[in-house]
Amino acid sequence: MDTALVLFRRDLRLTDNPAWSAACTQHARVLPVFIHADDDAGSTGAASRWWLHHSLLALDHDLRDAGAALHLRRGEPLGTLRELIDRSGARTVYWNRLYEPAAIERDTRIKSALQADGVAVHSHNAALWCEPWQIATQQGQPYKVFTPYWRNLRAQLQATGPLPAPRVPGWRDLSGSLPLAALELLPRIAWADGLAASWQPGEAGAQELLEIFADDAIGDYAHARDLPARHGTSRLSPHLHFGEISPRQIHFELDLRARAADATRRPDIEPYLRELGWREFAHHLLYHFPHTPTDNFNPRFDDFPWASADQALLERWQRGRTGVPLVDAGMRELWHTGWMHNRVRMVVASFLTKNLRQHWQHGARWFRDTLVDADLANNTLGWQWVAGCGADAAPYFRVFNPVTQAKKFDPDGVYLRRWLPELAAAPAALLHEPWKDAALLQRSGYPPPMVDLGQSRQQALDAYGALAR
């Protein structure tokens, strides 16, 4: 019987999955496979590996409900694929594309090798609204500024319905599948309880979050998205990263709800779509400028006088012990849940790169290891944007003041008290600036600020200003 092998990667869903749908509709039997390459451990953080474990568990459950099962393997992808193709008799392989530079190089090599073996290979787009090479300026060049990029992309977007989960025609059972534990994705030390309490990885979890967001939060998104104490954002970023939901599904559902609402209460979904547009822009930049995960997008910043790497200083930032409440609350939220509110991400990144003048790479590495939504494209764009060296970056003189930001976006201190229990009883007048009362610091055990915010800001401006000249 005609068998197709479907290689799952970061497309861990059955609905709106073009590779899975094509295989199920065009072949008599399918073999769904996930291969964990040992060298992936170096590029995937601990929080992401935790998520991947539970997402694979959910995908296998969904496949079993559909009449199949996920075949798990560990090893070098090309050799493993050749073995599975030989044993299963599959003559066609399907996958959905990845866009990181190393993934593109690997997939190109695998596709050429399999085609030389006489195996047909079909790749699809399951992760983005548009492929990175489909959007260009009038001169045919990649965009470097978000606003014209988004204007071009938005004009092309339509809220088209997602592909339904296909019926499984037949399952090619094959011996040798590993137990999920053999992939060794879970941490050896049980530190992930906070992640488990905060998230439900998998397609069902993604759909549940989308429904909650569409029902309760989208109408106030433009305002509430900046308030870290509120659930004003979708929190779909890890589900998007692992392909448990697609941008097309989100767009279609939000548009459907908006059209069905009474005209006087119709939510404005454009601010949220624009944020999804930033995700597309990040992948556009990574595809066209593949050096940016390690190098400044703007080479002028290669001469910027970063402070020497200070491990003790970095550890205080990582653990939320800087003595600056909003920074510490964000870093503790990250450590406990694997996620951080986007407004706070900008603040903690600005504090590291400007007040502490530590290289943005230090922050990018920590985010990669601790975020459940760690994504090379988004992480690179975000850190270079804040540091001032990226495409369409914040101007160098923009230094987020964490006290001003906290007073504006967490005026009652709900977010701060949630993540800084030692300051939970602090008077409202001191919560945002506890260093103004030495007795409060002594009673609470909360540290004094590791730098003077005003002086460190000026030192950063002087360094950036010299570079600008």
The confidence score (pLDDT) of residue 464 equals 87
pLDDT band for position 43 (cuts 50, 70, 90) = low
Task: For the domain covering 299-468, report its CATH number.
Answer: 1.10.579.10
> Region 157-174: what's the mean pLDDT?
94
Dump pLDDT digits (tens) for 203-240. 999 999 999 999 888 889 999 999 999 999 999 999 99
pLDDT band for position 260 (cuts 50, 70, 90) = confident
The confidence score (pLDDT) of residue 1 equals 65
Quote the DSSP letter at residue 164.
Answer: P
The confidence score (pLDDT) of residue 391 equals 92
The confidence score (pLDDT) of residue 438 equals 96
Lowest-pLDDT range, 137-141, 148-152, 266-270, 431-435?
Answer: 266-270
Length of the chain: 469
pLDDT band for position 448 (cuts 50, 70, 90) = very high
In whole angstroms, what separates CA 376 from the centre of its chain?
A: 8
Distance between CA atoms of residues 374 and 380, nearest Å: 10
The confidence score (pLDDT) of residue 86 equals 97
Q: Indicate the domain borders of the chain.
A: 3-126, 128-160+202-288, 299-468
Distance between CA atoms of residues 210 and 138, nearest Å: 36
The confidence score (pLDDT) of residue 394 equals 74
Structurally, at CATH architecture level, domain 128-160+202-288 sits in Alpha Horseshoe (1.25)
Whether pLDDT at 27 is above 90: yes
CA-nearest of 93, 91, 95, 63 to 168 is 63
The one catalytic residue among 342, 422, 433, 435:
342
Q: Is the whole-model pTM more than 0.85?
A: yes
pLDDT above 90 coverage of the chain, percent:
90
The one catalytic residue among 125, 152, 184, 278:
278
Geometric angle at alpha carbon 42, from 37 and 43, rounded to 5°: 90
The confidence score (pLDDT) of residue 44 equals 84
Gyration radius of the chain's alpha carbons: 24
pLDDT band for position 272 (cuts 50, 70, 90) = very high
3-state SS, residue 306: coil
Distance between CA atoms of residues 141 and 60, nearest Å: 42
Dump pLDDT digits (tens) for 366-382. 999 999 999 999 999 99
The confidence score (pLDDT) of residue 202 equals 99
The one catalytic residue among 360, 366, 385, 419:
360
Distance between CA atoms of residues 59 and 49, nearest Å: 15
Whether the Cβ atoms of residue 301 and residue 295 lie closer than 8 Å to each other: no
360 is catalytic: yes
Dump pLDDT digits (tens) for 376-403. 999 999 999 999 999 987 777 789 999 9
In whole angstroms, what separates CA 273 from the centre of its chain?
A: 16
Distance between CA atoms of residues 236 and 159, nearest Å: 18
User: What are the distances in angstroms from CA 85 to CA 88, 95, 115?
Assistant: 5, 14, 12
401 is catalytic: no
3-state SS, residue 32: strand
The one catalytic residue among 50, 199, 383, 385:
383
The one catalytic residue among 131, 184, 275, 433:
275
Dump pLDDT digits (tens) for 80-110. 999 999 999 999 999 999 999 999 999 999 9
Distance between CA atoms of residues 246 and 101, nearest Å: 21
CA-nearest of 33, 31, 29 to 7 is 33
pLDDT band for position 263 (cuts 50, 70, 90) = low
Quote the DSSP letter at residue 165.
Answer: P
Residue 442: CB atoms within 10 Å? 9
> Region 334-362: what's the mean pLDDT?
97
Which residue shows structure tokens 């989208």? 218
- Residues 6+ positions from 3 with CB-CB distance below 8 Å: 27, 28, 29, 30, 31, 88, 89, 90, 91, 172
The one catalytic residue among 298, 306, 422, 435:
306
The confidence score (pLDDT) of residue 123 equals 98
125 is catalytic: no
Give the per-residue SS3 of 405-457.
HHHHHCCCCHHHHHHCHHHCCCCHHHHCCHHHCHHHHHHHCCCCCCCCHHHHH
Count how many Cα atoms sit within 13 Å of the Cα of residue 379 in the half-sphere of its side chain. 27
> Region 342-362: what's the mean pLDDT?
97
The confidence score (pLDDT) of residue 217 equals 82
Whether the Cβ atoms of residue 292 and residue 285 lie closer than 8 Å to each other: yes
Whether pLDDT at 132 is above 70: yes
Distance between CA atoms of residues 411 and 396, nearest Å: 27
342 is catalytic: yes
**CATH 3.90.1150.10 holds for 3-126:** no
Q: For the chain, what is the mean pLDDT? A: 95
The confidence score (pLDDT) of residue 40 equals 65
> Region 11-27: what's the mean pLDDT?
98
Cβ density class 48-81: b for 16+ within 10 Å, e for less = bbbbbbbbbebbbebbeebebbbbbbeeebbebb
191 is catalytic: no
